[in-house]
Amino acid sequence: MARVLADAGADGFAVAALADAMRIRSNGVHTPILLYGGTLPDQIDSVEEFDLTITIGSANDAIEWNQRLTRKRRAFIKIDVGLLRFGFNLAELADFLNNGLHACDQLDFVGVYTHLSERTDIGHEGIEDQKRIFDQAIISCRQNLPDLDYICASSSETVISNRALDYNMVDIGALLFGLTSQENVKKLKLKSALTGIKSHITTIKPVIPDLPSSIDIPPSVKRLGVVTFGWGDGFPKRVSENAFVIVNGELAKVLAPAHLEQIRIDLTHINSASIGDEVVFLGDQADRSITAFDLAQQWSVDPEEIYCGMREHIPKIYM
C-alpha cells in the first residue's frame, strides 16, 4: 500500500509500530516515515538504519534520544490535549521549550501533532476544547521553532466533519481501510479493504443427548461443526447470541464457548455441510453476505477492532 501511495504522490507516512516502518522502507519507499509515540530510544539502531522520523513526547524523552543519536534526526513534538496519554501538556511543553530545547542539538524538530478524542459523547464542544489546547501549543512551538513544517490534528472522522482541524497534514489511517461510519462510507463511496475472514470445518460431530459433556449445548443442536478460528486468532472470547457464519450459503449459529484455536457452529439444519467446507465470518458466499458492520454488531465491537484484532499469524491474501 505504501509503495502505491508513494507513487501516487503521498509526501510521507506515519505508523504506530517500528516493524511496520521497517517493512515500508524495505519495500523501496524513500519518503519520510514518522513513528508515533511508543518506540523507545533503545531502538536507535533501527531508527537510524531505516532513516525514520521520531516522536518526542516529554523532556526525558528528548534527553534520552538526543544522547543516543549519532547524527541529527528529524522529530515531531507530540501534544497531549487531555487524553492523558503520550505527549506534552501545555505546562510541560512550556518548560521544555524554555529550559530543555537548547540542549537537544541532535533533534531537528520539523512538526507537531496531536491525537484527539473523537468519542461521540464528547460532541462539538469537546473537540473545540481540544483544538484550543492544540492551538496554544502550536503558538508556543512556533515562538521557539519558527521553521516547523508540519501541523497535524485531524484524523479519519474529523477530516470529514471539521475542516478547521486539517492544518497542513492529516492522519487518515482508518479511511485508507474504508473504516468510518456507514453514512460516511456511502457518502465517500468507500470500499472496505478487508473483504473476507474465512476458515474451514475441521470436524463434524453428532450431539448425543445422554453423552456426558463439560459444555452446555442447546437441546435444539443435533449436529455441530468445529472450525479452526478462536479467540487466539481474533474471534471474541465471549460469544454473542447474535454470532453467525455462512456455510454452504446458509447461516450457522456460533456456539459458546470460544476456545483459543477453535469454535463450534450449529450444523443441524445444514445437511450438506462436510469436513473442509468454507466458513465465512466476513464476506460473501452464494447469495449471502456479512459486512464489516454486520460482523461488528455480531461481535459487539467497532469495525476497527475487527481489523486490529486479526493476529499476525493469520494468513492474509492481498488482491
* pLDDT in the model for residue 53: 98
* pLDDT in the model for residue 188: 86
* pLDDT in the model for residue 212: 65
Q: What is the pLDDT of residues 99-153, one digit of tens each?
A: 999 999 999 999 999 998 876 667 778 889 999 999 999 999 999 998 899 999 9
pTM exceeds 0.75: yes
Confidence of residue 96 (pLDDT cuts 50, 70, 90): very high
Closest C-alpha to 100, from 145, 60, 134? 60
**Distance from C-alpha of 239 to C-alpha of 218, rounded to nearest angstrom:** 14
CA count, 13 A, side-chain hemisphere, 268: 12
Phi, psi of 316 (to 5 degrees): -120, 135
**Distance from C-alpha of 133 to C-alpha of 116, rounded to nearest angstrom:** 11
- Residue 109: left if φ>0, alpha if ψ -120 to 50, beta else—which one? beta
**Distance from C-alpha of 93 to C-alpha of 81, rounded to nearest angstrom:** 12
Of the candidate ranges 5-19, 110-124, 192-206, 266-280, the one whose mean pLDDT is the lowest = 110-124
257: preceding bond cis by omega (within 30 degrees): yes
Of the candidate ranges 31-35, 80-84, 200-204, 272-276, the one whose mean pLDDT is the lowest = 80-84
**Which class is domain 197-309?**
mainly beta
Cβ contacts of 28 within 8 Å, gap of 6 or more:
3
Q: What are 74's strand-pairing partners?
A: 108
C-alpha dist (Å) from residue 201 to 56, 100, 104, 265: 49, 60, 58, 9
Confidence of residue 159 (pLDDT cuts 50, 70, 90): confident
* pLDDT in the model for residue 250: 97
In the chain, what are the domain boundaries? 2-179, 197-309
Q: What are 34's strand-pairing partners?
A: 14, 53
- Here the cell at position 160 is 470529514
Closest C-alpha to 62, from 54, 53, 70? 54
* pLDDT in the model for residue 157: 82
Pairing status of strand 278-285 against strand 244-247: antiparallel
Confidence of residue 181 (pLDDT cuts 50, 70, 90): confident
Q: Out of 3.40.50.2000, 3.10.20.30, 3.20.20.10, 3.30.365.10, which CATH number does the structure's domain 2-179 have?
A: 3.20.20.10
Q: What is the pLDDT of residues 204-261, one digit of tens each?
A: 999 988 776 778 889 999 999 999 999 999 999 999 999 999 999 999 999 999 999 9
- Here the cell at position 10 is 503521498
* pLDDT in the model for residue 312: 87
Whole-number average pLDDT of the chain: 92
Percent above pLDDT 70 for the chain: 98
Cβ proximity of 76 and 150 under 8 Å: yes
